[in-house]
Amino acid sequence: MNRPLPLPDVDAVIVNLDGGDSLFAAIRALEAQEGVDLSIVVVDNGSRPEERERLAREAPRVRVVAFSRNLGFAGAANEGIARTRSPYVLLVNNDATVGADYAARLAARLQLDDRLAAVQGLVLSADGTKVDGAGIAWTDRGEAVPIFSGAPPGEVPREPFEVAGVSATAAMFRREALASLPPAGRGFDGSYFAYYEDADLSLRLARAGWRFACDPRTAARHEGSRTGSRTPFRKALWTARNRWRTLFRNFQPRRIRGSLGRLLRADLAHARSLGWRGAAIPLLVWPKLPLEALRFREELGRLDEWPAPVPAGGKT
């Protein structure tokens, strides 16, 4: 008599700070996953007491790792990863809901191709009418951008395709890949706090020989910047700082020097989008760039070029 194959073992990690109803929608979607043996960990970054009380009341099967202060997304995600043991770790934002087959399809993709460090599905806007992202690509201005962002879902290839990196909005990582990176396999650089931490992790994994994919046959919906929208100036500042940090760590100095004008113009464009307050962003970030460059002067194996853009309809 043939015994049924064991279900893929997955740990889901949600980083939370006062997510409210969106958090509980994310939890319910994870509890409804089919075809996997899934456990859920919420890493709470100092939410109000009433949110933690609600977690205990409405999500009793969820493990809560609570901190009295905000560790940022990167630090909190590391804490969740360190407290789990499954071979696959699914990171989900506290304002994202995944389809019932999301974890199973991503786990199957990782099982099918042992070159993959991580895979994500198609992430849509909250109403499902537009693409939020289908992985990470890089522009010639040294910016990590979401693939197919703003496009109708019908424009995305139907079959899985390779990407330069994955967004931590709703991505599954192979624990073995995270364990291959220092320090101690924690993955994200906690000093980033938030923003660009997933782009940096993807590049470091790629430099170690790992690959990434998007499987558009499964989808998530993302409300978008629930936490970051509360502090737009701080978000812009961290984004600018962490972009340069990612560039210095992962790309050869000659690549950065050759693109310096475009890299600086990208900062100015984002600063203008904030209005008069944005003028402070370059003033706060640019003077520290020489020190950031020195921080990674001993980094080995940096890239000579921006990662190639994903080919239309390309497959893994």
CATH number at residue 211: 3.90.550.10
- Quick one: 251 and 142 in the same domain? no
In sequence order, what DSSP letters do the residues of the chain get, joined into one string?
A: -PPPPPPPEEEEEEEESS-THHHHHHHHHHHT--SSEEEEEEEEES--HHHHHHHHHH-TTSEEEEESS--HHHHHHHHHHHT--SSEEEEEETTEEE-TTHHHHHHHHHHH-TTEEEEEEEEEETTSSSEEESSEEE-TTS-EEETTTTS-GGGS-SS-EEESB--TTEEEEEHHHHHTSTTTT--S-GGG-SSSHHHHHHHHHHHTT-EEEEEEEEEEEE---TTGGG-HHHHHHHHHHHHHHHHHHHB-HHHHHHTHHHHHHHHHHHHHHTGGGGGHHHHHHGGGHHHHHHHTTT--S-BSSPPPPPPTT---
pLDDT of residue 6: 83
Domain-located, residue 302: no
- Quick one: 99 and 234 in the same domain? no
Domain-located, residue 303: no
> Can you tell me the distance from the alpha carbon of 244 to that of 263, in angstroms, rounded to the nearest whole number?
9
- Quick one: 53 and 63 in the same domain? yes
Domain-located, residue 4: no
Domain-located, residue 304: no
- Quick one: 190 and 273 in the same domain? no
pLDDT of residue 226: 56
Domain end point (choices 228, 245, 270): 228
Domain-located, residue 39: yes
Query: Which domain covers residue 251, as residue numbers?
Result: 229-295
Domain-located, residue 1: no
- Quick one: 136 and 37 in the same domain? yes
- Quick one: 27 and 89 in the same domain? yes
Q: For residues 43, 47, 53 and 59, what is the CA-based torsion angle, rounded to 10 degrees?
A: -40
Domain end point (choices 182, 213, 228): 228
CA-to-CA separations, 90 to 64, 151, 182, 232, in angstroms, rounded: 16, 25, 20, 27
Domain-located, residue 128: yes
Domain count within the chain: 2
pLDDT of residue 310: 58
Give 303's strand partners: 251
If you search the block for the tokens 């899985």, which residue do you land on?
Answer: 160
Domain end point (choices 175, 208, 228): 228
- Quick one: 53 and 186 in the same domain? yes
- Quick one: 83 and 45 in the same domain? yes
Q: Which of 81, 77, 75 is nearest to 94 (CA)?
A: 77
- Quick one: 109 and 258 in the same domain? no
pLDDT of residue 7: 87
* CB distance 49 to 157 below 8 Å: no
Burial track 289-298 (b if 16+ CB lie within 10 A, e otherwise): beeebeebee
Pull the structure tokens for residue 150: 């703003």
- Quick one: 222 and 268 in the same domain? no
- Quick one: 243 and 150 in the same domain? no
Domain-located, residue 148: yes
CA-to-CA separations, 145 to 43, 140, 142, 187, 279, in angstroms, rounded: 26, 11, 9, 20, 23
pLDDT digit string (tens) for the chain, length 316 residues: 566 668 899 999 999 999 999 999 999 999 999 999 999 999 999 999 999 999 999 999 999 999 999 999 999 999 999 999 999 999 999 999 999 999 999 999 999 999 999 999 999 999 999 999 999 999 999 999 999 999 999 999 999 999 999 999 999 999 999 999 986 667 899 999 999 999 999 999 999 999 999 999 999 999 976 555 667 888 999 999 999 999 999 999 999 999 999 999 999 998 898 888 888 999 999 999 999 999 999 999 999 999 976 555 444 4
- Quick one: 63 and 183 in the same domain? yes
Amino acid letter, residue 272: R
